Amino acid sequence: MTDPFAAVPGAVFDGDLLSHLGSPAREQRELAAGRALAPLASRAVVTVTGPDRLSWLDSITSQALAGLAPGESTELLVLDPQGHVEHAAAVVDDGERTWLIVDRSRAGDLATWLTRMRFRLRVEVQDAADTHRVVGGTRDAVTPLRAAAVWHDPWPRVTAGGWGYAATDPHPGAERDWAEAIVDVAEYARIAAAGVDGSAPSIAGELAAEALRVAAWRPRSSREADGRALPHEADWLRTAVHLDKGCYRGQETVAKVHNLGHPPRRLVFLHLDGSDAVLPGPGSEVLQNGDVVGAVTSVARHHDEGPIALAYVKRTTPIDADLVVRAEDGDVAAAQEPIVPPDAGRTAAVPRLPRLSRRR
């Protein structure tokens, strides 16, 4: 099926994702200012209905959801028995249905797992890939849309029961205004048609949305959940974990790592040398003095900060170490900003750190 945004002037696709419309930097500015919308084909929607839906989701995920009010936005993680992140989902309930926004590459697996976990409870799980789409932008930008539900990203606020590890003040995501509207396919096509005829707001590609996310240090399941990630390593306890709720799969590891304060790895923000036109890709090795200490998870070119990335490094990597990223065309120098400190945990005494300047 042809994407309706393919007809928007200047549209460039990466596979079936709208990558950009000719000017990713301008699109970032428009998106951040609330003058653009980003169709997010990389996202998918899973719905849960039934009177037991919230208490059931509460019992099997990291978030306290039993008392979630209609219209309230939050986030959950599905962990394996060892506490590693398997799935992350944005969550909003409309009083009758719980809407989960997930990365499209994992939506089918999540829907299948939830269906298997129903047992005799009064819940129904549905993959809404055929009926609904996701559109991102600021709160004001998505408000006029005819949306089934709207999720307002709580990041980087520390939500009830959560814990923030990042010591930078102010947090780089503090001014990020981000929401994702769940619309049906007819509304999705209407937004595309408005982009074709030049109606406001304008359209931005996924490169713009990703750059704003990376600059805000915001983890994403298809990037930072690399198969062995613990929530602590990406500062995900901030919005997606309730430390005082009842037992759930992986909860013992969450409590143990938080109380001891020694996650094996830590997420860092990297300012990359911008002299190269080609950026290193996700999975590129991160080195210190020639030794591999980690790997890149997300890469973007920001309209203000230039080439940037998120990467996991070993917990013992010094926070002031100069790093390099190994790319196909050669090593790229990288200055790091710690997101998660080496001793992150309940008892850590971490000084508040100012933001680094745009470039070192």
Q: How many beta carbons lie within 10 A of that of residue 57, not counting itself?
A: 26
- pLDDT band, very low/low/confident/very high, at 359 (cuts 50, 70, 90): very low
pLDDT of 261 reads: 86
Q: Is the pLDDT of residue 358 over 80?
A: no
DSSP state at residue 163: -
User: pTM here?
Assistant: 0.95
Q: Residue 160 pLDDT > 70, yes or no?
A: yes
Place of tokens 């790592």: 257
Q: What is the pLDDT of residues 230-283, one digit of tens each?
A: 999 999 999 999 999 989 999 999 999 999 988 999 999 999 997 667 789 999
Taken in order of first residue, the domains within the chain and their CATH numbers are 4-223 (3.30.1360.120), 264-339 (2.40.30.110)
| Enclosing H/E stretch for 133 | strand 132-137
The yes-or-no verdict on residue 76 having pLDDT over 60 is yes
Yes or no: say if 280 and 291 are a contact pair by the CB < 8 Å rule.
no
Q: What is the pLDDT of residue 185?
A: 98
Judge whether residue 353 has pLDDT over 70. Answer: no
Q: State the CB neighbour count (10 A cutoff) for residue 141.
A: 25
What are the helix and strand counts (H, E) for the chain?
Answer: 9, 18
More confident residue, 15 or 344: 15
Cα 162 from Cα 168, distance rounded (Å): 17
Tens digit of pLDDT for each residue in 176-188? 999 999 999 999 9
pLDDT of 195 higher than 80: yes
φ/ψ of 270, rounded to 5, equals -115, 130
Q: Which amino acid is at 135?
A: V
What is the mean predicted confidence (pLDDT) over 141-153? 98
